[in-house]
Amino acid sequence: MPHRQKVLLLAPLGRDAAVASGMLERIGVASEAYPDLASLQRAVDHNSLFIIITEEALRAGSLQPLAGKLAAQPSWSDLPVIVLTQHGGGAERNPGAVRLVETLGNVTFVERPFHPTTFLSISRSALKARQRQFEARARMVELHESAENLRMALLAGRLGSWDLDLPSVIFTASAPCTAIFGRSRLAWDDLLDCIVPEDRDSVAAALRHPAPQAENLYIAFCIAWPDRSLRWVELRARVIRDEGGRAVRLVGVATDVTDRRIAEHRLRRLNEELEKRVVARTRELKQAHASVLAEIEQREQAQKQLRQAQKNEMIGQLTGGVAHDFNNLLMAVLGNLELLRKHAPDDARTQRLLDGAFQGARRGAALTQRLLAFARRQDLHLQSSSLLDLIRGMRDLIARSVGPGIDVRLDLPATLPPALVDGNQIELALLNLVINSRDAMPDGGTITIAADEPPDAAAGLASGRYVRLIVSDTGTGMDEQTLARATEPFFSTKELGKGTGLGLSMIQGLATQLNGTLRLLSTVGKGTRAELWLPASAADEQRPALPAPSMQDGAGVGRLTILVVDDDTLIASSTHHMLEDLGHEVIEAYSGDEALTVVRQNPEIDFVLTDFAMPLMNGVELARRVRSIRPDLPILLATGYAELPRDAFNDLPRLGKPYQQSELSREIAKAVRAPLA
Ligand SMILES: Nc1ncnc2c1ncn2[C@@H]1O[C@H](COP(=O)(O)OP(=O)(O)OP(=O)(O)O)[C@@H](O)[C@H]1O
Ligand SMILES: [Mg+2]
């Protein structure tokens, strides 16, 4: 027992106090004696165990202060008072005792002289009673503390407590709860009044009729504050049921969740926004990726085209060189054959052999022409020509070439600007295209030959006016790979011996050399369309065709002394023989320098026939220098090769290689008669 808990004694006379104190000490209870009522009254506090007071001491002073103090005790406290009376002091015999009980409350009377056992027994009961009071005090403190903790917890959680008695529909709310609803009071009707109309009935029903078996209840709804601001509130409650399981009461808390709701809403919006951005960004990335891929593809395509062009250029150069040499050789062969025919015995067998040799050499010459065309090295005779006339003029030949199973249609405009082309070569190109179409239609079909003036130049062409020659067919068409390779030299899908694979490459070479282009469009199973784009001739480029010579043959030029200049001795000698055979005198020279010397030393020379392509000094340069010596001397330029510079001497009369004796004779005659350029 703590030291401060003690019994308060007031027994001023004799040994009463000492005796009582001694007896109490025996049962382990501390006590303190006071001299008078006033000092005892001052000592009374929460730790006082009980009071022992003698009757006479009570009478010695005013009881009022002590009575007042006892009356003001806290609810748990009822301090026991033991009054030691005189003989016969029992309450039943002592009217003063009744008054004392009323004044001091919890009073027990013990009559003197008392037996120690009696005294101790009464003291023990008083002690026990007081200890029960102390326990009650402790419980009350605990209760108070937990109630206070709960209150603090609710405050901290911003929760307002409430309860609803279901049978009577009495709603009770704590002050914090009332505040959440923005009201000064919150009875059931006030609560309903707060709730926005659309939620009101459902909330009332949920509160008044909790689901059977439900232990807990949760509802969230929207309320309007008196200032009309809207807020979100959540109610959580425990459902209390009677023995029959009927819900009788809800005890719960309310929370204002407006901020949380707003935050949730914002978060949701933010997420949606983020998702949208991710989608948009992904789309952008995809697009960027696609365009990068497209660029790569384009670049690869361009590189492929460049490689193809370089390859073609190389093959062109190679082919051109070979074809040029071949041309010269064939020339010599043809020239010599021609002479041989004249002088050989006139029997059938010899003539047949000669014919075979001629045919072979001519086919070789035709092939070299195609090679030169592909290599863009053929000697073109540019003239302003009407494509319409050209096409119409070829109609019969075309019809014969394709045969009866194929319908040839012309789709031509009424007028078309003339094209600056070499008519013969264009005819050849048209024939090649038509034959390709024929070969693509083994079971027949339609070939349409059209011409027009497209509004714009095709990609890759210089700006300007163009005319277009179009050959379309309803044949097999080409797959992508074939189409890509169709213009490659020697590419052919035709069986061995049927196609050289030079047709389209030649046409493309020709088109390029004419500053135009060839375009091919094709669909497998549908057909092919070949477009030959050619520059329209501008007025100042139009060259009138040379006036036709009155005589088509070489007769009547008389006997001439002709200087033949060629770096190739084989050709020089073959030409020499041809000319001699025609009755002319011939001097050979094998270079420009040599030729000039000959011209200077031989004033009897009437005519110069020179090759163009010679090392050191070409035929045009030679012609220029010959003219400075003999301005009146006619000069004929032999060429199988398109490398003539475009200057004044370009107008020199020309003779295409390989030439035959008749052509040679005719061109010499023309050159002799033509006025000098
Ligand atoms: N109109 C077309 N329809 C279908 N395929 C075609 C057509 N024109 C050309 N081709 C294809 O292109 C290839 C090359 O044509 P190209 O004219 O260059 O050579 P070729 O016709 O085979 O031989 P050549 O013309 O020397 O006799 C042909 O073998 C064929 O496969
Ligand atoms: Mg062909």
Q: Three-state SS across 533-556? A: EEEECCHHHCCCCCCCCCCCCCCC
Closest-CA residue, ligand 1 atom 24, reads 499
| One-letter amino acid for residue 241 of the chain | R
Q: How far apart are CA 364 and CA 354, in angstroms?
A: 15
**Alpha carbon of 394 to ligand 1 centroid (Å):** 20
Indicate if the pLDDT at residue 157 is higher than 90: no
**Alpha carbon of 416 to ligand 1 centroid (Å):** 28
**Alpha carbon of 368 to ligand 2 centroid (Å):** 16
Helix segments in 471-527, DSSP class H: 480-485, 503-513
**Alpha carbon of 503 to ligand 1 centroid (Å):** 7
- Give Cα 108 distance to the centre of its chain: 101
Q: How far apart are CA 345 and CA 23, in angstroms?
A: 184
Q: Which ligand is nearest to the CA of 491?
A: 1
Q: Which ligand is nearest to the CA of 507?
A: 1
- Section 410-435 average pLDDT: 92
The candidate with the shortest Cα–Cα distance to 159, out of 67, 245, 257, 90, is 257
Q: How far apart are CA 287 and CA 194, in angstroms?
A: 55
- Section 224-245 average pLDDT: 93
Give the binding-site residues of ligand 1, using a 6 Å CB cut-off: 432, 436-437, 440, 473, 475-478, 482, 486, 491-494, 499-505, 528
Closest-CA residue, ligand 1 atom 17, reads 503
Closest-CA residue, ligand 1 atom 1, reads 437
Backbone CA torsion sign across 496, 353, 582, 609: positive
- Section 133-158 average pLDDT: 91
Contact 609, 562 (CB under 8 A): yes
Closest-CA residue, ligand 1 atom 8, reads 436
**Alpha carbon of 505 to ligand 2 centroid (Å):** 9
pLDDT at 642: 58
Point out the ligand 1 atom lying closest to the alpha carbon of residue 530.
Answer: 1
Both tokens assigned to 434: 């038509």
Q: Which ligand is nearest to the CA of 437?
A: 1
pLDDT at 280: 94
Q: How far apart are CA 411 and CA 88, in angstroms?
A: 158
User: In whole angstroms, how far apart are CA 356 and each of 351, 450, 498?
Assistant: 9, 39, 20
Q: What pLDDT, in 10s, does the model give residues 587-628?
A: 999 999 999 999 999 999 999 999 988 889 989 899 999 999
**Average model confidence (pLDDT) across the chain:** 87
- Section 663-672 average pLDDT: 89
Point out the ligand 1 atom lying closest to the alpha carbon of residue 527.
Answer: 3
pLDDT at 477: 96
Q: Is 40 in a helix, a strand, or coil? A: helix
Q: What pLDDT, in 10s, does the model give residues 158-171?
A: 899 999 999 999 99
Helix segments in 32-80, DSSP class H: 37-43, 55-59, 64-71
Give the least confident one: 9-13, 145-149, 215-219, 551-555.
551-555
Quote helix, strand, coil % in the chain, to nearest 5.
50, 20, 30
Q: Using 50, 70 and 90 to split pLDDT, how confident is the model at 643?
A: low
What is the share, in percent, of the chain residues with pLDDT greater than 70? 93
Give the least confident one: 114-123, 375-384, 432-441, 551-560.
551-560
**In terms of DSSP bridges, do strands 466-473 and 527-535 run parallel, antiparallel, or are they unpaired?**
antiparallel
Q: What pLDDT, in 10s, does the model give residues 4-59?
A: 799 999 988 878 888 889 999 988 999 999 999 999 999 999 889 999 998 888 88
What is the share, in percent, of the chain residues with pLDDT greater than 90? 54
**Alpha carbon of 314 to ligand 1 centroid (Å):** 22
Contact 118, 45 (CB under 8 A): no
**Alpha carbon of 259 to ligand 1 centroid (Å):** 81
Q: Is 312 in a helix, a strand, or coil? A: helix
Q: Which ligand is nearest to the CA of 506?
A: 1
- Section 505-509 average pLDDT: 90
Q: What pLDDT, in 10s, does the model give residues 356-399?
A: 898 888 888 888 887 887 777 777 788 899 999 999 999 988 99
pLDDT at 374: 76
